[in-house]
């Protein structure tokens, strides 16, 4: 269940989060990592195979946390597994959090990190992705990249993305509750709306890179994510949608050994393999 989130409880919730460090997440895998401090002090951590291919694809990861918590190390287990499987050069960004830094600060941080990553490594194929708030920010970054003329993206990996500030449902037992969701959106938007902050509000979804949209059947974001995938397809964007029956929000993190997680990971890998045109 989601911890109670409010302005008064948020510092304690943030302090209780303990993510793996890169060294812990990598273990004995042949992967190296380094922090890069960009102008303004933002940190981007880059992880890659020790002997990365010259034509290695790029994966730019944006962490979740309801726009208000967590850090760039939150998705390291997922990143390390994908680096090992596909040979990605991957980056994860430490963007500023709401409510201290409302929109557009988090999204602009994520976009600036993407611009740096693309320029520093010159990828032929670059994918942006993340889960929950990170999925929403990934969708927003894809919109910014389209509307600002780059960087060119090969795909967007949207895992249970947080896309629509208008979402409201009174469902019991949610891992990410309506109350927590409302707090996250209020903190981010600070009384304003923007289709880049809430991509479900964007009228025109044409010209975006291919999308993989995944969501649990038993979570708050199900309907908004299904609607977004449908709108992408209607706009001519190749969109693949997976709704995992009875799965809750973030199921791959909270139930990594479950059958639904194994099926979801296989579907993600299949999409990435087809996107990158790899054999198998």
For the segment 186-217, what is each residue's pLDDT rounded down to a tens digit? 999 999 999 999 999 999 999 999 999 999 99
pLDDT of residue 179: 92
pLDDT of residue 4: 82
Supply 58's token pair.
């790029």
Q: Is residue 2 part of a domain?
A: no
Structural domain including 72 reads: 10-276
Q: Is residue 3 part of a domain?
A: no
Scanning 33-122, the segments in alpha helix (DSSP H) are 76-86, 105-121
Residue 103, phi then psi, degrees to nearest 5: -55, 135
Q: Is residue 247 part of a domain?
A: yes
- Three-state secondary-structure class, residue 181: helix
pLDDT of residue 123: 97
Q: How many domains does the chain have?
A: 1
CATH of the domain at 227: 3.40.50.1820
pLDDT of residue 170: 65
Q: Is residue 131 part of a domain?
A: yes
Please give the Cα distance from 43 to 40 (Å, whole number): 9
Q: Is the pTM of this model over 0.95?
A: yes
Scanning 122-191, the segments in alpha helix (DSSP H) are 133-147, 178-189
Candidates 139, 97, 80, 131; CA nearest to 253 is 131
Q: Is residue 1 part of a domain?
A: no
pLDDT < 50 positions in the chain = none
Kindly state the helix (H) or strand (E) to which residue 275 belongs, with its residue range: helix 259-276
Q: Is residue 64 part of a domain?
A: yes
């Amino acid at each position: 269940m989601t911890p109670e989130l409010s302005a008064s409880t948020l510092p304690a919730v943030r302090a209780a989060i303990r993510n793996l460090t890169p060294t812990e997440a990598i273990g004995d895998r042949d992967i190296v990592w380094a922090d890069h401090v960009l102008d303004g002090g933002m940190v981007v951590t880059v992880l890659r195979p020790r002997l990365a291919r010259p034509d290695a694809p790029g994966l730019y990861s944006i962490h979740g946390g309801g726009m208000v918590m967590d850090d760039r190390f939150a998705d390291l287990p997922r990143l390390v597994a994908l680096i090992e499987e596909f040979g990605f050069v991957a980056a994860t960004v430490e963007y500023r959090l709401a409510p201290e830094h409302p929109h557009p600060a988090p999204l602009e941080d994520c976009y600036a990190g993407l611009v740096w990553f693309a320029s520093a490594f010159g990828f032929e194929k670059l994918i942006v992705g993340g889960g929950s708030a990170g999925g929403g920010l990934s969708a927003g970054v894809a919109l910014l990249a389209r509307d600002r003329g780059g960087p060119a993206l090969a795909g967007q990996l949207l895992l249970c993305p947080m896309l629509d500030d208008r979402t409201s449902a009174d469902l019991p037992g949610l891992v990410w509750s309506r109350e927590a969701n409302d707090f996250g959106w209020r903190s981010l938007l600070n009384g304003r709306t923007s289709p880049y902050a809430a991509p479900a509000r964007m009228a025109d979804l044409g010209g975006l890179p291919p999308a993989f949209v995944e969501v649990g059947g038993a979570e708050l974001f199900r309907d908004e994510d299904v609607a977004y995938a449908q709108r992408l397809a209607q706009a001519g964007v190749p969109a693949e949608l997976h709704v995992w029956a009875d799965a809750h929000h973030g199921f791959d993190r909270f139930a990594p050994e479950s059958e639904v997680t194994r099926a979801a990971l296989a579907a993600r890998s299949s999409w990435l393999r087809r996107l990158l045109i790899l054999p198998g």
